[in-house]
């Protein structure tokens, strides 16, 4: 057996067939969520009879941490913890502590709907080593927000979670809003106004065809460029350069110094060419694209007693064969690329 840390100090960052490095790992810790958002887990599919993953099938926290060590040895530097709703997972802080102690990992963030982000939980996450938070909030008015989350949850309680995060010392907070035509486009200016001067960065996300259950239609997509124009007309904007190659959101800032906003443009302006993200499902399947149809089983390898060298070889081999560019193909085709296989649901691999 070799030590992963020894490999990390001697290896070069692995690249895929399109010369994209492996820099980011999205880790789903559960497929469960207490919301039933219409663009992610619609109630008619994920209702009372839906069969969620058996708990015995989930990776243990220690197994997740070991996989993260393997990825770090291959060049991964940033981890994002997702779900489902990740705060449902017990002892999540222990996982964060283990990842934070991993050589090479420079950043750990978490995406949440904010409903379980109490003052005490925010403090414990911060103390465990979590660096950044992204909180989903698709509208400020309750009529719209409740129609989206479909569990009668008020926007004010998500705002309470954001306040709790601030009080715990989180200074890098992003607020994600998926924008769907006819559903919440009217909420865009309200969100922009509310978070001006707040230090939080709102990111407007084009409605995407992730999975097979959200009824996606191209006509429901509002191009980010249109949203920029709407906001710019009220609060003048100027473009900002990316913080780093492959950054997901296109950055803009208010000309009056009121802060920054972002736009995630997977549909109208794809960013496949710089995508450095891998995704790990809660049961240990590795996906190399958000729109993937088939994962690679790492859990069986782990539980069969594979040593570090075998794990490194497996993950490296998967990434080196990667050539995903779904959004680019979608943009150049007259219709969504057809693979003959169902795409993995967002609730299984996070956003």
DSSP 62-98: HHHHHHHHHHHHTT--EEEEESSSGGGSTTHHHHHHH
What percent of the chain is predicted at pLDDT more than 90?
74
Task: List all residues 6 or more positions away from 237 whose beta carbon is below 8 Å from its beta carbon.
Answer: 228, 231, 252, 253, 254, 255, 261
pLDDT for residue 274 = 85
d(CA 170, CA 133): 7
Residue 9 has pLDDT above 60, yes or no: no
Residue 278 sits at the vertex; the CA angle it makes with 313 and 129, to the nearest 5 degrees, is 100
Please state the pTM of the whole predicted model. Answer: 0.89
- pLDDT tens-digit map of 158-179: 999 999 999 999 999 999 999 9
pLDDT value of position 327:
67
Task: Report whether CATH 3.40.50.920 matches the domain 4-349.
Answer: no
pLDDT in tens, 82-114: 999 999 999 999 999 999 999 999 999 999 999
Over range 25-48, report the average pLDDT. Answer: 93
Question: What average pLDDT does the structure give for the chain?
Answer: 89
Residue 233 has pLDDT above 50, yes or no: yes
Per-residue pLDDT, 330:
64
Write down the pLDDT at residue 325.
Answer: 75
pLDDT of residue 323: 86
For the chain, give every domain's residue range. 4-349
């Amino acid at each position: 057996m070799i030590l992963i840390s020894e490999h990390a100090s001697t290896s070069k960052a692995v690249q895929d067939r399109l010369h994209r490095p492996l820099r980011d790992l999205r880790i789903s810790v559960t497929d469960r969520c207490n919301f039933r958002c219409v663009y992610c887990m619609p109630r008619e599919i994920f209702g009372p009879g839906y069969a969620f993953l058996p708990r015995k099938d989930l990776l243990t926290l220690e197994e997740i941490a070991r996989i993260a060590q393997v990825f770090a040895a291959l060049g991964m530097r940033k981890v994002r913890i997702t779900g489902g709703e990740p705060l449902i997972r017990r002892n999540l802080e222990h996982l964060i502590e283990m990842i934070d102690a991993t050589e090479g990992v420079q950043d750990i963030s978490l995406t949440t709907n904010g409903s379980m982000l109490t003052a005490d939980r925010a403090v414990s996450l911060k103390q465990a080593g979590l660096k950044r938070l992204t909180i989903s909030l698709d509208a400020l008015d309750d009529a719209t927000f409740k129609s989206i989350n479909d569990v009668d949850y008020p926007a004010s309680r998500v705002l309470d979670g954001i306040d709790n995060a601030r009080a715990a010392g989180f200074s890098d907070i992003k607020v994600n809003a998926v924008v769907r035509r006819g559903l919440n486009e009217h909420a865009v200016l309200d969100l922009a106004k509310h978070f001006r001067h707040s230090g939080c960065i709102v990111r407007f996300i084009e409605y995407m065809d992730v999975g097979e259950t959200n009824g996606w239609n191209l006509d429901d997509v509002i191009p980010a460029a249109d949203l920029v124009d709407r906001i710019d007309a009220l609060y003048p904007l100027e473009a900002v350069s990316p913080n780093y190659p492959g950054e997901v959101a296109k950055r803009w800032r208010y000309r009056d110094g009121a802060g920054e906003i972002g736009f995630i443009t997977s549909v109208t302006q794809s960013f496949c060419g710089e995508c450095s993200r891998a995704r790990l499902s809660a049961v240990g399947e590795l996906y190399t694209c958000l729109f993937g149809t088939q994962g690679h089983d790492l859990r069986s390898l782990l539980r069969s007693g594979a040593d570090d060298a075998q794990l490194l070889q497996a993950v490296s081999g998967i990434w080196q064969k990667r050539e995903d560019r779904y959004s680019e193909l979608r943009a150049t085709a007259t219709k969504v690329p057809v693979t003959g296989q169902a795409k993995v649901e967002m609730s299984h691999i996070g956003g």
